[in-house]
Structures are given as C-alpha cells and as structure tokens.
Amino acid sequence: MGAAVAEPAASPAAPPGPDRAWVGFVVLVGTLLGLLSVRDQLVSLVETSPAVQAWLTVFVSIALQSLPFLVFGVVLSASITVLVPVERLLRALPSRPALAVPVAGAAGVVLPGCECASVPVAGGLIRQGVPAAPALAFLLAAPAINPVVIVATAVAFPGDPEMVVARFVASLAAAVAMGWLWLRLGRADWLRLSRRPLVEGHGRAAAFRAVMQHDLLHAGGFLVLGGILAASVNVLVPREWLSSLQEYPVLAVLVLALLAVAVAICSEADAFVAASFTQFSPTAMLAFMVVGPMVDVKLIAMQTGTFGRRFAARFAPATFVVAVAASAVVGWWLL
C-alpha cells in the first residue's frame, strides 16, 4: 500500500510546469464550489429518503467520533518514532519473545481509547524495531482492556462483576494468543508498511510533522472506509433478524460476534450495546464485546492501510476465530 505515482521525470532539472500544477487545483476547488452552490437542492433531495439521511448522520457521527482518536494515535506514533530512542523501547520488553507477548498485551492497559489509535501506534512500534508479535498483541489488547472500557463495562452491567472480569480475561487471552500465533506462524513479508519519510538528519519538529502527516493520510482514508461500511450496516440490518436467533445459542454467539465486526462500535460503548441484547446469552454478549475491539470493519480497513492487504487478509479472520474461541471458553467458565 502506498506506492507512489512518480512525478513524470521528463528531465530532472525542470520543475513541474505551472500550468499543470494549477489546472488540477482549479478543477478541485471548482468542483467543491459548484457542489456548494447546489447545496439547497442536495439537502431537499436527501430529505426525501429517511434512510439516506440516517446513513449520513451515522457516517458523520462515526467519522467525527473516530478522528480525535486517530489523531491522538498518530501523535503517539510520531512521538515513538521521533522522540523515543529505540533502545529504551526494546529494553522495556523481555528479550524472550514468548515472554514479551504477554507483557506487551498487559501493557495495553495504558492506552485508553478507540481502536483507531492502536493501529498507528502499533505501526510506529514495529517500524521502530519492536518485534511484530508483542506489538500486535498490544494492538489487540489496548482497545479492549484499557480503564475506560473496563469502567464502561462495569457501568453497563451493574451488579455483574463476572462480566467485567470475563471481558478482561478473554480479551487479554485472545490478544496474547494472537501474539504467540504470530511468533509461530507469522512471516515478516506479510507486513508491508508504507515507506515513511526519512527522519535522520532533520530537525525533530520537521520530522514529527512529516511523520504525522504521512500516518494521518495513510490511515485516515481507510478509517473513513470503515465508517462507510459501519454506517451501511447500521441502516440496512433490521433488528428482527436478531430476535429470531435466541433459540440457537451457538449460532447466537457467532451472530453477535459477526455483528460486532460489522457495526464497528467504539470499545467504550459496546458494553452498553451488548447489554441491550437482553434476549441473548451472557456468552454471546461477551463475544460481542471481545470481538468488536479486535476485529471490525474499521480496524480491518485501517490494518489494510497501515500493514497491507496480505496482512489484513490473514490477521483479521485469525483474530476473529481466536476471539470467539476465547469468549466461548471464558464464558463457559465464568458466566
């Protein structure tokens, strides 16, 4: 991902002609202004379809909710790249990879926020030389076990501490399992990180700016794609489908897990949504909460953008299976 289209190298000594530079700019601005001028007609058109209007509201809402976390994650990632010496990062982790994975997973407790932040951070870590397995365990654990999510889960399930514990244990277990799985089966050539600007030899501020811009543009578009998918599911999937499933407990767990992938709800809020599925078993609710922060359309899209399609095509389904399995086991044990 991120292969650049080279500027036509007609002759290295000639900068791009001013005419060609400005034509594209004028077209872009002209289109935007043209659209603005028909704004009223657009609004009336949209008002004729409540479904389209709802889609737009949900889409904008997901975008606005996620952007601050993405920017936060990018700031963190750029800080790791530009400000933290690699040695310090690597020293913090146990040198034995099999031990580094659970430590990194547990470290997920420190990064509060949406999964949108964890992808850029993990990308930054890997680029800095942190081995992929613990970085990926961190990527999966952080959105699922941070304090905000735990508290939200406790509030959504009052008087039901087992659910909070179950969520924590199942999520951490799934993250660590995925890290170990990568150690055994993962291959470095599955990770295709886009080329970042060279940072050596430039001032820290300039490097910081360049890295931030790079990460934002690379991840941001995919985040929006995830939002499009999630908004579409939100508007198109009728609730009645879910109610008919309560008779099949195993199917119910799978269905809620798949729903969690499709609706891409932020990990701080998914506990309340899970609690509202009163007709489903606690294990199914647990699966919804464990799967959601680890694999959903937003995450898959962002992972594709940051790590490449080959990675996402393997990582996402594997995470789904592991997360469902962890929920089933922990649910059977604790709930």
Residues 120-159 binding another protein (CB under 8 A) are 152, 158-159
Q: Determine if 314 is a binding residue for another protein (CB under 8 A).
A: no
Binding test (CB under 8 A) with another protein, winner from 101, 175, 191, 273: 273
Cα angle, residue 280 at apex, residues 277 and 281 outer, rounded to 5°? 130
Q: How far apart are CA 166 and CA 323, in angstroms?
A: 12
Q: How far apart are CA 196 and CA 211, in angstroms?
A: 7
Of residues 53-72, those binding another protein (CB under 8 A) = 53-54, 56-65, 67-68, 71
Binding test (CB under 8 A) with another protein, winner from 90, 103, 225, 313: 225
Q: How far apart are CA 120 and CA 122, in angstroms?
A: 6
Structure-derived torsion over alpha carbons of residues 125, 165, 293, 90, reported in degrees to the nearest 10: 0
Q: Determine if 34 is a binding residue for another protein (CB under 8 A).
A: no
Q: Determine if 269 is a binding residue for another protein (CB under 8 A).
A: yes
Of residues 81-120, those binding another protein (CB under 8 A) = none
Instruction: Decide whether 172 or 296 has the Cβ nearer to another protein.
Output: 296
DSSP state of 190: G
Task: Cite the DSSP H helix spans in 93-199.
Answer: 97-107, 115-127, 132-145, 147-156, 161-185
Q: Which of these ranges, 25-33, 171-179, 252-260, 317-325, lies near another protein under the rule CB under 8 A?
A: 25-33
Instruction: Determine the length of the chain.
Output: 335
Q: Determine if 291 is a binding residue for another protein (CB under 8 A).
A: no
| # residues contacting another protein (CB under 8 A) | 87
Instruction: Decide whether 54 or 185 has the Cβ nearer to another protein.
Output: 54
Q: Which of these ranges, 86-94, 103-111, 265-273, 325-333, lies near another protein under the rule CB under 8 A?
A: 265-273
Binding test (CB under 8 A) with another protein, winner from 86, 210, 245, 258: 210
DSSP state of 192: -
Orientation angle between helical segments 297-307 and 249-263, nearest 10 degrees: 50
Q: Could you tell me which of 288, 283, 248 has the C-alpha nearest to residue 270?
A: 288
Minimum separation from the CB atom of position 143 to another protein (A): 12
In the numeric block, which tokens belong to residue 238? 């009728």
Binding test (CB under 8 A) with another protein, winner from 164, 178, 230, 252: 230
Q: Determine if 39 is a binding residue for another protein (CB under 8 A).
A: yes
